[in-house]
């Protein structure tokens, strides 16, 4: 039975703590202990802080910590590499075969990006915290009920985040809400349905919000707040077609103390969050706590170019007014996308993702000590999700607020305002929103899931968009081979190793 502990993706038996900073709270600096158990660990406030640090630690790995960089940047890649805006580059061919395969729509159960171990490790850590943190209050009087509930809210939020991403990527998966604390527990757990996972996501977010657990403050950079939960609710409701609820949840975020910085790039260059930040994964740039994001999209020594622009992105940026021509063949983007003042990012050897690798207008970050945050939710994202929700909820009838939201985002990027024809259909308006999201949120792990949402009511939309990044003479073959018109193909298979370790799992039907 003991070897079953890896079956649902490496659940932790011991409460192994990590050394890193939880922003807005004290530094957790404890050595891992091999004999920690619920009976010996949950005694004092520092234990709660250490345990919560462990939950956030898994989120760091998923979003771009140095860790195992060959399949790091998991959240970014699962949301972008299969979509139409970017494609793999030479760095992926050299070191990240799984990324190359996904970019070419070759999706197999042996791909590293079908491994869910870190998601379930995060879930088990959150389950442990939810189950055992409340008992500290009795043992440690200085650990107040208010503090305990605030941290519980964060654990519920993080568990919801993990299950939501599992649902978006694998569709169906095991739903486990109790902590694994013994090698005698049954770990041959079958899958739950997509809807069951999403129901639990909604419950966890409500648990964090309605009980007053999560804090209102926005000064807790890198930690979950009520606004982060409202932002996730917005996306969850959009995903499930609950459009008015999505619009209402977004309105709660927009009523908060967030503003768009005057310079688009401030949201990525600063290292400490900005007035746009709602929830981000925080890196200190010290003691090994580095972000891998600045290391992608560049050819300089010490960097690795994983991505390149796909043709649809190029065409969209040119059509949107985010560029100006310099001569006949090169362009300098003045708005968003790949950017640097006075530098030309049209050259094959200079295709940087400047929002991640730039330190200012012209200089690269030092990749070895970078602390670029990964923006899970930021204001422009929520503004455009509200526009999407309002458009769907009104069947295209609420054009005035929709275009106001779009143009507020475009104004910050210093690109021309858009207009919507009064006769435009809901889908035509949604196309404008999706185009705006594609540029504003490029290489932030959003696009694939945007395409899935926008496919509701028009089933070939995703395939039509994605196929445009491949040469015209290959599109028919790729469409036939990948069956991208089948919604089941939009999700990935369960990793082969998980199927071998857990006989209760059944492969996602598209991949049988």
If one counts every other C-beta atom within 10 angstroms of the C-beta of residue 445, the result is 23
> What does the alpha-carbon distance between residue 304 and residue 242 come to, in Å, rounded to a whole number?
41
> What does the alpha-carbon distance between residue 265 and residue 352 come to, in Å, rounded to a whole number?
14
Asked if residues 116 and 502 have their Cβ atoms less than 8 Å apart, the reply is: no
* Phi/psi at 326 (5° precision): -125, 95
> What does the alpha-carbon distance between residue 297 and residue 294 come to, in Å, rounded to a whole number?
8
> What does the alpha-carbon distance between residue 423 and residue 210 come to, in Å, rounded to a whole number?
41
What's the residue count for the chain?
512
Beta-ladder partners of 304:
296
> What does the alpha-carbon distance between residue 293 and residue 286 come to, in Å, rounded to a whole number?
15
Q: Which strand (E) or helix (H) includes residue 27?
A: strand 27-28
Look at the block and give the residue holding tokens 């991208």. 484
DSSP state letters, 105-155: T---TTSGGG--HHHHHHHHHHHHHHHHGGGHHHH-TTS-HHHHHHHHHHH
Asked if residues 251 and 383 have their Cβ atoms less than 8 Å apart, the reply is: no
Looking at residue 263, its pLDDT comes to 77
> What does the alpha-carbon distance between residue 470 and residue 445 come to, in Å, rounded to a whole number?
20
* Token output for 152: 């519980």
CA angle 456, 100, 310 (to 5 degrees): 60
Asked if residues 180 and 7 have their Cβ atoms less than 8 Å apart, the reply is: no
Looking at residue 249, its pLDDT comes to 98
> What does the alpha-carbon distance between residue 284 and residue 20 come to, in Å, rounded to a whole number?
8
> What does the alpha-carbon distance between residue 426 and residue 473 come to, in Å, rounded to a whole number?
32
Looking at residue 184, its pLDDT comes to 79
Q: Which CATH code is given to the segment(s) 8-222+492-511?
A: 1.25.40.890
- In 3D, which of 134, 300, 150 has the Cα closest to residue 216? 150
Looking at residue 210, its pLDDT comes to 84
Which DSSP letter does residue 368 get?
G
Helix-helix angle 379-393:243-254, to 10 degrees: 150
> What does the alpha-carbon distance between residue 162 and residue 139 come to, in Å, rounded to a whole number?
30
The domain limits of the chain are 8-222+492-511, 266-375
If one counts every other C-beta atom within 10 angstroms of the C-beta of residue 139, the result is 12
Residues ≥6 apart with Cβ < 8 Å to 470: 478
Outline where DSSP puts E strands in 257-378: 277-281, 307-309, 323-326, 330-333, 374-378
Question: Would you give the distance in Å from CA 31 to the centre of its chain?
Answer: 30
- In 3D, which of 268, 339, 235 has the Cα closest to residue 64? 268
Per-residue b/e over 103-121, b at no fewer than 16 CB within 10 Å? bbbebebebbbbbbbbbbb
Outline where DSSP puts E strands in 229-387: 277-281, 307-309, 323-326, 330-333, 374-378
Instruction: Please report how many Cα atoms fall inside a 13 Å half-sphere around the Cα of residue 211, on the Cβ side.
Output: 18
Can you say whether the dihedral through the CA atoms of 241, 243, 245, 246 is positive or negative?
positive
Looking at residue 312, its pLDDT comes to 80
> What does the alpha-carbon distance between residue 262 and residue 412 come to, in Å, rounded to a whole number?
6
Asked if residues 229 and 322 have their Cβ atoms less than 8 Å apart, the reply is: no
pLDDT tens digits, the chain, 512 residues: what are they? Answer: 333 323 323 333 333 333 233 433 332 333 344 445 667 788 888 899 999 999 998 888 888 765 555 556 788 889 998 999 888 765 555 666 788 889 889 999 999 899 999 999 999 999 999 999 888 877 787 888 888 888 999 999 999 999 999 999 999 999 999 998 877 788 899 999 999 999 999 999 999 998 777 877 666 778 999 999 999 999 999 999 999 999 999 999 999 999 998 877 777 766 666 899 999 988 777 776 777 776 665 545 444 556 677 778 878 877 776 654 444 344 444 456 444 333 333 333 445 677 777 776 667 676 556 667 889 999 999 999 999 999 999 999 999 999 999 999 998 887 889 999 999 999 999 999 999 999 899 889 999 999 999 999 999 999 999 999 999 999 999 999 999 999 999 999 999 999 999 999 999 999 98
């Amino acid at each position: 039975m003991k070897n079953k502990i890896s079956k649902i993706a490496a659940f932790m038996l011991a409460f192994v703590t990590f050394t890193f900073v939880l922003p807005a709270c004290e530094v957790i600096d404890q050595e891992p202990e091999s004999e920690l158990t619920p009976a010996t660990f949950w005694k004092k406030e520092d234990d709660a802080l250490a345990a919560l640090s462990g939950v956030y630690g898994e989120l760091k790995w998923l979003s771009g910590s140095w860790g195992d960089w060959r399949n790091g940047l998991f959240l970014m890649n699962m949301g972008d590499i299969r979509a139409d805006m970017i494609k793999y580059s030479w760095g992926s061919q050299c070191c990240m075969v799984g990324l190359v395969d996904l970019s070419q729509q070759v999706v197999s159960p042996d791909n590293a990006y079908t491994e869910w171990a870190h998601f379930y490790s995060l879930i088990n850590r959150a389950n442990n915290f939810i189950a055992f943190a409340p008992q500290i209050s009795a043992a440690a009087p200085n650990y107040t009920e208010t503090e305990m509930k605030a941290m519980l809210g964060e654990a519920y939020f993080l568990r919801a985040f993990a299950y939501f991403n599992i649902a978006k990527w694998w569709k169906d998966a095991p739903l486990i809400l109790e902590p694994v604390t013994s090698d005698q527990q049954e770990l041959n757990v079958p899958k739950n349905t997509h809807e069951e996972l999403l129901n639990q996501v909604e419950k966890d977010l409500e648990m964090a919000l309605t009980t007053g657990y999560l804090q209102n403050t926005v000064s807790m950079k890198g930690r979950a707040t009520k606004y982060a939960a409202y932002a996730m609710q917005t996306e969850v409701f959009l995903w499930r077609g609950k459009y008015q609820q999505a619009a209402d949840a977004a309105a709660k975020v927009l009523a908060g103390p967030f503003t768009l910085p005057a310079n688009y790039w401030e949201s990525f260059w600063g290292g400490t969050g900005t007035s746009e930040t709602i929830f981000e994964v925080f890196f200190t740039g010290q003691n090994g706590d580095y972000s891998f994001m600045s290391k992608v999209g560049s050819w300089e020594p010490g960097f690795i170019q994983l991505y390149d622009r796909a043709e649809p992105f190029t065409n969209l940026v040119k059509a949107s007014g985010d560029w100006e021509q310099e001569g006949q063949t090169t362009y300098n983007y003045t708005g968003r996308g790949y950017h640097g003042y006075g530098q030309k990012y049209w050259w094959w050897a200079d295709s940087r993702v400047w929002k991640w690798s730039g330190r200012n207008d012209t200089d690269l970050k030092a990749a070895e000590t970078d602390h670029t945050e990964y923006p899970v939710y930021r204001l422009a994202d929520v503004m455009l999700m509200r526009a999407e929700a309002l458009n769907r909820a009104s069947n295209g009838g609420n054009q005035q607020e929709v275009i106001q939201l779009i143009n507020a985002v475009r104004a910050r990027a210093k690109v021309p305002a858009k207009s919507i024809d009064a006769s435009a259909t809901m889908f035509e308006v949604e196309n404008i929103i999706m185009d705006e999201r594609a540029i504003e949120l490029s290489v932030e792990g959003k696009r694939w899931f945007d395409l899935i949402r926008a496919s509701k009511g028009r089933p070939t939309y995703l395939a039509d968009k994605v196929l445009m990044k491949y040469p015209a003479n290959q599109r028919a073959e790729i469409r036939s081979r990948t069956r991208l018109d089948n919604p089941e193909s939009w999700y990935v298979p369960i990793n082969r190793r998980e199927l071998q370790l857990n006989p209760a799992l059944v492969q996602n039907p598209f991949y049988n």
